[in-house]
Amino acid sequence: MKSNRIPIAANQSYTPPNSAEIARGQNEEDPLRLLLAQRLLYSKAKRWMALRLWGMGFIAIAAPVVALIWPSLSVAVGAIAGAWIFVGRTVFIVLERHLTAQAAGVQELFDIKVFQMPHLAARSPMPALEDISHLVGPDSEIRARAEKEKLPDWYPVNLENSGLTTIAICQRANASYSRSLLIITSRIWLGIISTWTAILIAISIAIGLTLKDFLLAVLLPLLPAFLDTFDLWRAFNKASIERENLAKEIEENLRGNNVTPEETVIWQTRMYDIRRDMPQVPEWIYWFARKRNEEAMGSAARQLSDKSREVK
């Protein structure tokens, strides 16, 4: 009989746990601590992103208005806008990405613990165990805080599936869930860019600005914020495509019942890379879309569970 233990590295092999172990394991204290920690780290990263975006939004709204009222200040306003974008890209975004990378590493630890996967490589930067403990708080409060954040039963698990199928469905659910958030966010940013640009052009035409005045009083102060917003939209769009490609690849293997332990480890590594580099979704968008996305994720998981059993 052929063994299902697939070589991962020279001295490692991987045998997935069964679905009951995954369902039970994700609700134990240690994994819940990691989920709380990654949630808090992502929240901190989002604060730096929010500071950058609020400043950028204020500049996008206020700079053209100030320059229209006081044309002599247009160059100074443009310089201030450029300086804020510079600080945002050299300070705020560095702090945001550092915390995002830490959160991705902690979330990776959660997956590895729940899926009982081998540790293939060190993740850096990674907070120390003491840092995670300080961040999360007393062990006695972990379960209550996790339930308040709706973290138990993080992944949809069908006990009738094999452990291997469950892991692949969980990985696809994670990729697809994040993809939905990224698509929503990218559309919002594109709408902001288009709407505000159209408003400024309409106002400029209405008050009879010349092309020179439009360039100096409107476009120059707005350009840094516009370019930064466009780059952010492009980053969200790129990240959503990466998630979509991974979700489709996993789904194709599930539908054909071609999932192997080795592939789940490879997908896990790709998932970490995507998480580490993914731009943060604003907290209000996350909470606004959470219920609908979780319902869609659960429905997709059930469909793939049924399909995987049909082809056996």
Domain spans of the chain, in order of start: 16-152+161-310
Q: Can you give the pLDDT at residue 11?
A: 43
- pLDDT tens track for 118-171: 876 677 788 888 899 999 989 899 999 999 988 999 888 889 889 999 999 999
Average pLDDT over residues 87-108: 90
Q: Over 80: is that where the pLDDT of 49 sits?
A: yes
CB 233 within 8 A of CB 191: no
How far is 146 from 137, CA to CA, in rounded Å? 12
Beta bridge partners of residue 12, listed in sequence order: 9
Cα–Cα distances (Å) from 29 to 24, 110, 128, 136, in that order, read 11, 11, 18, 12
CB 104 within 8 A of CB 272: yes
Percentage of the residues of the chain whose pLDDT score is greater than 70: 85
- pLDDT tens track for 157-167: 889 889 999 99
How far is 14 from 26, CA to CA, in rounded Å? 19
DSSP-based three-state secondary structure for 243: helix
Q: Over 90: is that where the pLDDT of 36 sits?
A: yes
- pLDDT tens track for 11-24: 457 899 999 999 99
| Tokens encoding 153 | 């039963």
pLDDT class of 307 with cuts at 50, 70, 90: low
Q: Over 50: is that where the pLDDT of 226 sits?
A: yes
Q: Over 50: is that where the pLDDT of 10 sits?
A: no
pLDDT class of 268 with cuts at 50, 70, 90: very high
What's the mean per-residue pLDDT of the chain?
81
Half-sphere exposure of 306 (CA within 13 A, CB side): 5
Q: Over 50: is that where the pLDDT of 302 sits?
A: yes
| Tokens encoding 302 | 């059930």
CB 256 within 8 A of CB 308: no
14 membership: H or E segment, kind and range: strand 12-14
How far is 263 from 252, CA to CA, in rounded Å? 12
- pLDDT tens track for 228-242: 777 777 888 888 888
Q: Over 70: is that where the pLDDT of 106 sits?
A: yes
185: left (phi over 0), alpha (psi -120 to 50) or beta: alpha
- Provide the H-helix boundaries in 152-260: 163-206, 211-214, 220-255
Q: Which position has the higher pLDDT, 217 or 170? A: 170
Beta bridge partners of residue 242, listed in sequence order: none
Q: Which position has the higher pLDDT, 218 or 94? A: 94
Distance of alpha carbon 124 from the chain centroid: 18
Q: How many residues belong to the chain?
A: 312
